[in-house]
Amino acid sequence: MAHSDLKNAMSTLSLREPNCLLFNPSGDMAWIREKFQNISRYLMRISTPWSDGLNDEVWVKSKAATYRREDRNLDIFAIEDKEQAAAALNRYLRWEGTTVDADNMISWTSSPLLALHLANIKLCIVDTAALPEGVFLPDMDLIDAYRGFNARLQDLKELRTRKHKSLTGSYYFGEYLSQGALKIGGNCQIVSAQALVDKGLFLLQPEFCRSMEDTKPQWANEMTNEELQAVTDIAQLFGPRWRLPMATNLMALQPRREGDSAILRTLRATPFTGLMLPSFSSNNANDCRRGKRGVLTVKDECGS
């Protein structure tokens, strides 16, 4: 190879960014690796023109990756000073970063209820099964790994697991984290929040446009034809690959009756049939990654 060709090749190699930065826990934190098995199949992220980092249909980048900081490709588990890593994680999760703090984390959620309540610009949905194992980790697992090195992370752990005064269960944010730069091109879809609103989002979840004074849990109700049509209309804003997961997530915004015949009829309709999705109910991205795929039927998911 000529000297000029070798120089050009090396230049291209050095400028090429990796497609993702994997979490790689080891040693005392190796136990976290088993958490890779429990990543939700579909994760969502809201972004606005004012969001930190980069967010488009090809890349999602942290602030550190966007600014090309030297540590942008440094896994949090590779940081030797665990107190420093814990402090950075605590700062990010509490939204306490400043303009000089180039955080290297990116937030995702498994809940459209949380995602759409936080902003009103763009909703991105990504298929985690199409990305390498280790790209995502639940925030609670990272908190567990580092709370021994930071008292405020321990406080955050207690806050996130606090029981509700009157309801069963505990507060849950459904938050996941990735690191650095993540190439999502071909494995995501982005839709504007205005399009969701235009297709009936507020009909499905009125709380998005008004504050609710009544904090009591709602009784499960059958879905009205108007609500079902709104679900179908919103789902069709997305490509075939994404319609069924979006529809089921939207239906879950409110309590629903088990075995609701109207819901089953809707999911058997043309927009949702013949989609290649996992033919099991675990929603485990790792099973899908291993190639266990098939045509999803309503019976598979609903048990009817």
Query: Does residue 247 contact residue 265 with C-beta atoms inside 8 Å?
Result: no
Other beta carbons within 10 angstroms of residue 293's beta carbon come to 15
Mean pLDDT of the chain: 78
CA-CA distance, 127 to 87, in Å (whole number)? Answer: 30
Share of the chain above pLDDT 90, in %: 38
List alpha helices for 16-130, DSSP H.
63-66, 82-93, 112-118
> Which residues share a beta bridge with 178?
106
Residuewise pLDDT in 10s, the chain (304 residues): 455 544 444 444 445 779 999 999 999 999 999 999 989 999 999 888 778 899 999 999 999 999 999 999 999 999 999 999 999 999 999 988 776 677 899 999 887 766 665 445 688 999 999 999 999 999 999 999 999 999 999 999 888 887 767 666 666 678 999 999 999 999 999 988 888 878 887 787 776 665 433 444 444 355 677 888 888 888 888 988 888 888 888 887 777 676 777 877 887 777 776 554 444 344 566 665 555 444 443 333 333 3
Output the pLDDT for position 210: 56
The predicted structure's pLDDT at residue 195: 84
Q: Where are the domains of the chain?
A: 18-189, 235-302
CA 299 to chain centroid, in Å, comes to 26
Q: At what angle do helices 151-160 and 139-146 cross, to 10 degrees?
A: 140
pTM above 0.85, yes or no: no
Other beta carbons less than 10 A from residue 132's beta carbon: 12
- d(CA 42, CA 73) in angstroms, rounded, equals 24
Span 150-190, pLDDT tens digits: 999 999 988 888 776 766 666 667 899 999 999 999 999 99
Cα separation, 140 vs 154, in Å, equals 11
**What confidence score (pLDDT) does residue 36 get?**
95
CA distance 259 to 263: 8
